Amino acid sequence: MELTVSPEVPEVRWRSPEIEHPFCGAFGVPGFQKVSRDAKGRIHLAMVPFALSNPDTTLETLIQQMQTHSGAIPLGESAMGPVFWDPRQVAHLILAGTTGSGKSTLLRSILTLWKHRGASIYLVDVKRGLDYLDLLPHLAAPVLANPAEAVTLLEQLWQEFESRLEQLRQSGFSSFAQAQNQGQLRHLPEIVLVVDEFAIFARSESTKAAKETRLQALQILENLALGGRAGGLHLILSTQYPTAEILGSQIRQQALRISGRLEDKVASQTVLGTEGAESISSTTPGRFLMKDGPDVVEFQAYALPSPGPEHGFQSISCKGTATRP
C-alpha cells in the first residue's frame, strides 16, 4: 500500500516511532517499507505489504454478520476489518473486473445473501446464469439474455416501482425502508435486478427496432437507478469492460462502485474515479477496490463454496495500491 502526503513533515519524521507505529498500526501493518520524496516534493509512504487472505467463512457466518449489521451485506475483509454494502444507504452496486478477477464469485456470494434477505432476484445474463447454477431455482423469473428479452421485464419492474410509490404516498411514508421499519408493506419483498454483462446495453444493432429496444431498456434502467431506493428496488450492474458510455454519470452517482483487476487506467477511472484497479495483480483473484466517499478501500472478497471449478481464492499478499484522490 502506498500513500502520497503533503511535504510539510520531513521524511525522517515519518520514520520516528511516535509517528510510524501508530500511523501504520491504523492500517494494520507493522511499518513503512519505504519513505521517499519525489521531484515535486511530495512524500510517498510505502507500507509493508499486509496479508489479505481469503477469510475462512461459511454461509452461516455471513448471514450472522448480515443480521448483526442491520442487513448490510458482508463483502470481504480489508486491513481495517470487514467490508459491507448497506443497500438501504446506497441502493445500487456497480461491480467491474476482467475475467479471472473473482467478480463472478463475489457476485454469487452477494446474490446468495440477498436470497437469504428474502429478496426477489431477477437476472439478465448473456451466459444465462451459467455462473450461478445453484441460484437459478431461487430466481423470481427465468434468466434473460439480451435487451430485447429484458425490456418487458424492465417495464414490469417500472410498473411495480410506481405502484409501490403510490402505496407509500397513501401510507404517509417517504421510502420503502421507512415503511418496513414501521411494520408496513412487509408483504412486499425487496427487488434485486442483476445485469451481468451491462455492456449488452451499449452494443450496436443491425436494425432500427433493435436499437430502439436497447435504448428503451437503458432508459428504464437509468430511471430505476435514480428512484429505485425509495421503492425497495436495487440494481447490480456487472461488467468486464467499463466505459463512460456504458456507465453513465447518473448511474455511477447512485451506486456503490467496486472493481477487481481491469485492463487499463481509463477503465479504473470510469468505475472508481481514480487509478488503481489496473495495478491489481492477475495472481490475486478476489482482490477488489471499493470507492468509499473520498477514499478507495482495498479488500479481499469472501468466497462461498461453488458448484463450479472456481471454489475460492488462494491466500495472497497485498501489494496493490490504495489511493486518495
List of E strands, the chain: 2-5, 32-37, 43-47, 51-52, 73-78, 81-85, 92-96, 120-125, 191-196, 233-239, 255-259, 287-292, 295-301, 316-317
Fold of the 54-317 domain: Rossmann fold (3.40.50)
Does the structure show a pLDDT above 50 at 34? Answer: yes
Residues 57 and 106: their CA atoms lie apart, in Å, by 13
- Predicted confidence at residue 198, as pLDDT, reads 84
Least confident span in 6-15, 215-224, 230-239, 256-265: 6-15
Can you tell me whether residue 76 is helix, strand or coil?
Answer: strand
Model confidence over 269-321: pLDDT tens digits? 999 988 889 988 888 888 999 998 888 888 999 988 755 444 343 333 333 33
Among 273, 277, 282, smallest CA distance to 321 is for 277
Q: What is the mean pLDDT of the chain?
A: 83
pTM for the complete prediction? 0.78
Model confidence over 201-249: pLDDT tens digits? 776 666 888 888 888 888 899 899 999 999 999 999 999 988 887 777 7
- Show the DSSP H helices in 129-191 as ranges: 147-171, 176-181
Residues 195 and 125: their CA atoms lie apart, in Å, by 6
Q: Is 308 within 8 Å of 127 (Cβ atoms)? A: no
- The grid coordinates of residue 108 equal 454469487
The residue length of the chain stands at 325
Can you tell me whether residue 122 is helix, strand or coil?
Answer: strand
Residues 126 and 204: their CA atoms lie apart, in Å, by 16
Does the structure show a pLDDT above 50 at 14? Answer: yes
Strand order through the sheet with 92-96: 81-85, 73-78, 295-301, 287-292, 255-259, 92-96, 233-239, 191-196, 120-125
